[in-house]
Amino acid sequence: MNPVVPDSPENANGGPASSASAPVAPSASPAQQAPLRNGKEPSGASGAGDPALSASAAVLLADVMEGMGRAPKSLPCKYLYDAAGSRLFDRITELSAYYPTATERAIMQAHLDEMVACLGRRCLLLEYGSGSSLKTRLLLDQMSDPAGYVAIDISEEHLAASMRRLRAAYPHIPMRALAADYTTSFAVPSAEFEAARAVVYFPGSTIGNFEPREALDFLTRMAGAAGPGGGLLIGVDLEKDRPTVEAAYNDAEGVTAAFNKNLLRRLNRELGATFDLDAFRHRAVYNLDEGRIEMSLVSACRQTVRVNGHSVGFAEGEPILVEYSYKFTLARFRRLAERAGFAVQKVWTDANRLFSVQYLRVR
């Protein structure tokens, strides 16, 4: 079984949880359980070799400077999730306008029996981007003799706190927490669990944050991680009218704006950047042609920001693209899933077809 169940998450990338990119595979042998170091080396132009920076800050700086050199400027959305960002995301999920969480939870509650039947006995549940693992509890409550639960998230402090609460609530279920960037290579300690199959759980429509090509690669890697006999239980947000979607990402309380701007606060804190949070405004628009929400930070004026010795100029109205959130039709997602090596076994939706939860079987 699972002899070592540490309280704090292991850093599965062997370095900063927010590192680089590559595949994901559950390890079959203890040797493969050793932490992997696959972090992207910072490029010379953007802070590598700055002795004042920690390794994780150097990676962050390299990613930021790469994004600032693009047209339009962009920042990787994974950096939204530091401890404060994760707390703000949790507040977003409680907003009445933010339909994805409430709808996904309701779908799960309505069809839980069928979902746990898909997972089967002695299932090892691997959750990518576990956050506060709240919807996961519905599964853990009902699963038949679960072999274990592995929570994988980039937001290390938040993951540790969630894991402490989960271990207290489910002392009978072996659990591991991996602080990892799931877009990188990392080893899942599957061999520690006496599992009949592995199922990846990827709720929250986080798949929508990937561009189509990346989504295909990511799903393909998930099929590899689940392996033969395994599957993927995934939450997928569906295309719908513009007002409903835009309201979800532009809440009147300003929580999504605070979540977005927290990224600049993080860059100020971790890189000594000089972003004036009042000089950027939150924007989230539904691009119907592309079928995605585009969330940006827009410069309110012409300005220059310092980022660890670099000057970054902004024109008035110039955006920094922070996150996409693609919405799918059921047919489009089915094609994507099939190309990634899955067969769509079950699709559950709400009566208004706002959201879907799907069980995909590895082919």
- Contact residues for ligand SAM (CB under 6 A)? 78, 81, 86, 89, 93, 101, 129-131, 135, 153-155, 181-183, 203-204, 206
Q: How far is the CB of 82 from ligand SAM (least distance, A)?
A: 9
Q: How far is the CB of 294 from ligand SAM (least distance, A)?
A: 16
308 torsion bin: left (phi>0), alpha (psi -120 to 50), beta (else) = left
> Cis omega (within 30 of 0) on the bond before 203?
no
- 200 φ, ψ to 5°? -80, 135
Give percent helix, percent strand, percent coil of the chain, each to the nearest 5: 40, 25, 35
Cα(304)–Cα(179) distance, rounded to whole angstroms?
34
**Both tokens assigned to 184:** 């990188």
Cα(220)–Cα(236) distance, rounded to whole angstroms?
16
Q: Are 115 and 140 in contact (CB under 8 A)?
A: no
Nearer to ligand SAM, 89 or 280 (CB): 89
Nearer to ligand SAM, 135 or 292 (CB): 135
Q: For residue 4, count other CB atoms closer than 10 A to its CB.
A: 9
Nearer to ligand SAM, 19 or 296 (CB): 19
Nearer to ligand SAM, 305 or 354 (CB): 354
Q: For residue 83, count other CB atoms closer than 10 A to its CB.
A: 16
Picking from 204, 240, 237, 171, the residue whose alpha carbon sits closest to that of residue 92 is 204
Q: Tell me if residue 155 falls in helix, strand or coil.
A: coil
Q: How far is the CB of 206 from ligand SAM (least distance, A)?
A: 5
Q: Which amino acid is at 343?
A: A
Burial class (CB in 10 A: 0-12, 13-18, 19+), 47: buried
Q: How far is the CB of 76 from ligand SAM (least distance, A)?
A: 8
Kind and range of the H or E element at 297?
A: strand 292-299
Cα(173)–Cα(89) distance, rounded to whole angstroms?
27
How many helices (H) and strands (E) the chain has is answered by 9, 16
Q: How far is the CB of 204 from ligand SAM (least distance, A)?
A: 3
Nearer to ligand SAM, 130 or 299 (CB): 130
Nearer to ligand SAM, 124 or 305 (CB): 124
- 250 φ, ψ to 5°? -135, 55
Q: How far is the CB of 135 from ligand SAM (least distance, A)?
A: 6
For strands 231-237 and 280-287, give the pairing: unpaired
Q: Tell me if residue 3 falls in helix, strand or coil.
A: coil
Nearer to ligand SAM, 101 or 299 (CB): 101
Q: For residue 93, count other CB atoms closer than 10 A to its CB.
A: 18
Nearer to ligand SAM, 264 or 295 (CB): 295
Q: How far is the CB of 244 from ligand SAM (least distance, A)?
A: 18
Q: How far is the CB of 357 from ligand SAM (least distance, A)?
A: 11
Q: How far is the CB of 359 from ligand SAM (least distance, A)?
A: 16
Nearer to ligand SAM, 189 or 204 (CB): 204
Q: How far is the CB of 273 from ligand SAM (least distance, A)?
A: 21
Nearer to ligand SAM, 50 or 350 (CB): 350
